[in-house]
Amino acid sequence: MRHSRRLDCYDTILPTFYAAHGFRHVARLKFDPKYAPADWDYSFFSGKADVSDGKGGTKKSKNFNDGKPDIIFMVYDKDSNGFSSQLEDLPETDGANYGEPYVSDAVKK
């Protein structure tokens, strides 16, 4: 079976989801609005949007860093315990390196 050995995702519910599937966090990149998709919904990701509660009503969306969630870099680790590490303690990378060398070094292990 083949699978991805590395990924990056917004710091929303995704890092915890991927950690439960064998990925571990290795670095983070601060959100930069100039690289956000043109249709990025700041109100949805800042907890200000009304969303379905699944019971016919509505609730407020979750707040992810005031609508500007960082990007988390992850690598597959067969020995991962499935728990999410403290994301705020991850080493910070910049846009020029986009997760390197953290990801490459972690994939080699």
> Which phi and psi angles does 10 have, rounded to 5°?
-70, 145
pLDDT in tens, 53-72: 899 999 999 999 999 999 99
pTM of this prediction?
0.81
Q: Say if CB 30 and CB 92 are below 8 A apart.
A: yes
Domain locations in the chain as residue ranges: 1-30+70-109, 37-67
Residue type, 109: K
Q: Read off the pLDDT band of 79 (50, 70, 90).
A: confident
Q: Residue 17 has which token pair?
A: 């989801």
- Candidates 14, 12, 16; CA nearest to 85 is 16
